[in-house]
Amino acid sequence: MDHLKPLFENNERWAADTARADPTFFARLSHLQSPQYLWIGCSDSRVPANQITGLQPGEVFVHRNVANVVVHTDFNCLSVMQYAVEVLRTRHLIVCGHYGCGGVRAALAGQQLGLIDNWLRHIQDVRDRHAELLAALPDDQARWDCLCELNVIAQVRNVVNTTIVRDAWSRGQELVVHGWIYGLKDGRLKDLDVAIAGAQEKDAVHGAATAALHRRWGGS
């Protein structure tokens, strides 16, 4: 257990430093959270939502899974979304993928890793939908990067098609769904320009973002 001791020491130091800098910080947060953002990201240890966006505890509600996949029957992800949208009233829902995603690479290569193959099958569906574009790319690195982007755009589409988002919009609740991607190599976030703010624009925005991606990667 000795190798876990530093975590408790770090925590002790962090709690003390935080309380010193802002004496009401913990009291305030223990009563209420009102995050403006819901983050749906990859479980990858190199993509911590709070750190890369400079957000403090209390500012972002987070759901992470392997390769930031949104599946229509995943009650874990759907419950997070429902709570965030209907109870916390978050205004922005961000799907954030990342280049260098191991889940996306396994899906691309059709690697057999066990149970997770079934989860990654959703990304293979995305791969197969864009097979022509991917086949035309010069190498596996380009195909990997491209599929990481395609996956984000596909998951944004899944998010806006949930009953949670559709119901929020039909109630007139302000809610914008975004698709971003993070670079492990430079620490930079990139907006994939697929922000959708209402049901009437969802197909047009998704179509435009997909077309822009195809142009960017040299397809037609």
With CB under 5 A as the contact rule, the residue among 60, 70, 84, 101 that binds Co ion is 101
The CA distance from 155 to 94, in Å, is 10
Would residue 46 show up in a list of annotated catalytic residues for this protein?
A: yes
For residue 106, state whether it binds Co ion (rule: CB under 5 A): no
Q: Quick one: tokens of 111?
A: 């690697």
Per-residue binding letters, 51-90, with Co ion (x by CB under 5 A): ----------------------------------------
The CA distance from 165 to 22, in Å, is 36
Would residue 145 show up in a list of annotated catalytic residues for this protein?
A: no
- Contact stretch for Co ion (CB under 5 A) within 13-21, 87-95, 98-106, 156-164: 98-106
CB closer to Co ion out of 27 and 184: 184
- Closest distance of CB 67 from Co ion, Å: 5
Contact 196, 175 (CB under 8 A): no
Would residue 191 show up in a list of annotated catalytic residues for this protein?
A: no
With CB under 5 A as the contact rule, the residue among 38, 40, 41, 44 that binds Co ion is 44
* Binders in 143-202 for Co ion, by CB under 5 A: none
State the burial class of residue 213 (Cβ atoms within 10 Å of its Cβ: 0-12, 13-18, 19+): buried
The CA distance from 66 to 45, in Å, is 11
Residue of 63, 77, 96, 98 marked catalytic: 98
The CA distance from 9 to 29, in Å, is 22
With CB under 5 A as the contact rule, the residue among 35, 37, 40, 42 that binds Co ion is 42
The CA distance from 14 to 48, in Å, is 17
Instruction: Reduce the DSSP state of residue 24 to 3 states and report it.
Output: coil
- Closest distance of CB 203 from Co ion, Å: 27
CB closer to Co ion out of 101 and 120: 101
88 CB-side CA count, 13 A: 23
State the catalytic residues: 42, 44, 46, 98, 101
